[in-house]
């Protein structure tokens, strides 16, 4: 079976990387991880990659004079490993438009909010502060503007009355871990593609159930 060749970019604990590793372990999953790149040394995600016998490479941004040379090294590494789709999985550096445009429509990101709400950092705390009834997470194609680009998949997560930042982070991550492998599968199967500022779908089941919180 043909497998889409992934490059996964991380900066930290790598639980989303783990979700992709676990999905790729199934013989009938249509993607495989070619390389894991971390911009930070000694992070837990690198251990996860090593444990799964993956090629894991640290490209520490601090070793480079500027962002361009750092990104050139990342680009070279992805190209050397024949990567077809780059998955940002908790990769916490903003990428320049040069890099993003080089990988246009072959670069996706996961973000812990219902975009376009709550771009940037501390999304869960900000949602709680605002008292919104739903938080969520989003997988999208990357465009040069931060946390922007055609939306592939989202989960809406009800916020409980006794929700804390910690509980909301944990709850959101469980949805992230379900969604990332599912979104990559859709791409690998040719069921989604970026079309203008949106995504076009083919043969996908959207469901028609809304979620209401609190339940009426």
Residues with catalytic roles: 111
Q: Let me know how many helices (H) and strands (E) the chain has, helices first.
A: 6, 9
The DSSP call for residue 197 is T
Does residue 214 have a cis bond before it (omega within 30 degrees)? yes
Closest by alpha carbon to 77, among 58, 50, 97, 92? 58
Taking residues 102 to 121 in sequence order and writing x for each that binds ligand GAR by CB under 6 A, - otherwise, the string is: --------xxx---------
Q: Segment contacting ligand GAR (CB under 6 A): 9-17, 48-56, 69-77, 160-168?
A: 9-17
- Residue 37 burial class via C-beta count within 10 angstroms: exposed 0-12, middle 13-18, buried 19 and up: buried
According to the binding rule CB under 6 A, does residue 124 interact with ligand GAR? no
CB atoms within 10 A of CB 214: 9
Give CA 1 to chain center in angstroms: 24
Does residue 116 have a cis bond before it (omega within 30 degrees)? yes
Q: Segment contacting ligand GAR (CB under 6 A): 8-16, 60-68, 127-135, 197-205?
A: 8-16
Restricting to residues 158-177, name those near ligand GAR by CB under 6 A: 173, 176
34 vs 172 by CB, closer to ligand GAR? 172
Query: Measured from the CB of residue 126, what is the shortest distance to ligand GAR in angstroms?
Result: 12
According to the binding rule CB under 6 A, does residue 6 interact with ligand GAR? no
- Binding residue (CB under 6 A) for ligand GAR from 13, 55, 96, 167: 13
According to the binding rule CB under 6 A, does residue 138 interact with ligand GAR? no
Site residues, ligand GAR (CB under 6 A): 10, 12-16, 45, 89-90, 110-112, 173, 176
């Amino acid at each position: 079976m043909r497998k889409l060749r992934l490059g996964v970019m991380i900066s930290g604990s790598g639980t989303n990387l783990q979700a992709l590793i676990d999905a790729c372990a199934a013989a009938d999953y249509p993607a495989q991880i070619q390389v894991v790149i971390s911009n930070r040394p000694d992070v837990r995600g690198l251990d996860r990659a090593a444990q799964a016998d993956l090629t894991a490479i640290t490209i520490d941004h601090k070793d480079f004079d500027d962002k361009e040379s750092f990104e050139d090294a990342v680009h070279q590494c992805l190209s050397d490993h024949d990567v077809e789709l780059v998955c940002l999985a908790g990769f916490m550096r903003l990428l320049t438009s040069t890099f993003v445009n080089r990988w246009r429509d072959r670069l996706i990101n996961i973000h812990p909010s219902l975009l376009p709400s709550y771009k940037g950092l501390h999304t869960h705390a900000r949602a709680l502060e605002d008292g919104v009834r739903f938080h969520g997470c989003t997988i999208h194609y990357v465009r040069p503007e931060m946390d922007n680009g055609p939306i592939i998949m989202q989960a809406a997560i009800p916020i409980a009355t006794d929700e804390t930042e910690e509980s909301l982070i944990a709850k959101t991550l469980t949805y992230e871990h379900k969604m990332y492998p599912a979104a990559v599968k859709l791409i690998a199967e040719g069921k989604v593609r970026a079309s203008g500022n949106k995504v076009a779908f083919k043969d996908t089941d959207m469901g028609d159930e809304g979620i209401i919180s609190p339940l009426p």
